[in-house]
Structure 1
Amino acid sequence: MDRALIELKKQQKEKTKNGSGPRCSYPMISFADLQEVAFQLFMDTGAHTKFTSDLEAMAEYVALLTREFVEAASRPTALEEVLESVPRYNSFRVTHSGATVSMCANAWLRMIQVIPGVSEDKAQCLLDHFPTFNSLMCAYRDPTLSRAQKEDLVADKLHDARIQRALSKRIYAVFCEEDPDALI
């Protein structure tokens, strides 16, 4: 790159001596300026910069750089990545009689399904016993029950036949854990 800048300066000096130089002179770009621009390009876009010595290498690099810009422009933002990683639940609450329920019941069903390990069937079974968020929270806030009893409160209600204590403890932790650093 230094050689190219030196050669360019020589050509400009020869043109000015011969009188065939450009009428308006543009400021010369130094190698330090070029390095600064390359560094800024890397910091702003994360694109790798490379100084080439011949035309073929430069053409390959420009093609690579163009691909990098296209990928950088089409990359989703952090918020978009988070939103895309969250599963979308389209379930709706169905009672034993086959009737569908209100939007609030559907939202409560989907809220339960977000908890890891809770399938739609388990959420439907839980909603048979606790049809609203408030009904579950009232049961969890019952002062006569110990913490262990509250953790096992929904263990037998998640499925018709099996008791699921680990999932019941996870549901309790989601709604009642007070430690912000606790893992769920």
Structure 2
Amino acid sequence: MICCYKKLIGGTRLKTRGFEIVTKYQDQALHLPVRQTRNAAGYDFEAAADFDLPSIWQLNFIKILHLLRHQTEQPTVEQVETAQQVLKPFLIPTGIKAYMQPDEVLILVNRSSGPLKRRLILPNGLGVIDADYYNNPDNEGEIFVQLINYGVKTVHIKKGDRLAQGIFIPYLKSDQDQNDGAQRTGGFGSSGK
């Protein structure tokens, strides 16, 4: 397990932040995220399994775009839903969860080679992994990387391929913060419900 420790308290080292493998991947020989160089800020996250990531251009994107652009009347609900599904990012499992202090966040960002070499991007620009996502009841806090393939052909992601990098950072609260102490009740995307 990779982690950092706070100072010794009563002879015990307290965990402050790090990574663990989720239960369903315990016997899958996954690697915990690591920094590749001494001064690297990001921990590289790898794919937990093989995955074919289709190009948006192979999913009728052009046909739908043309239809929406040149249609004289409003698109139907079905046409809009089809377009939304085509542009929906894919979730690539990592098999990893992260623990951290309550005033910290793990930010997932593109690896510099992702867009340049493989035409893969995080569609939301960056992912936010909150401290209370760890060990949530829905998925044990497994981190998924959202990706879109804007290249012209399907990209085969192999187990162990590096997908994104994660950076732990502290965050600040405003003077007007009125959080009522609500507890997370679910997994991926649950804090927006």
TM-score (ref. length: structure 2): 0.17
* Greater fraction of residues in strand: 2
Structure with greater contact order relative to length (CA < 8 Å, sep ≥ 6) = 2
If you compute each CA radius of gyration, which structure gives the higher value, 1 or 2?
Answer: 1
TM-score (ref. length: structure 1): 0.17
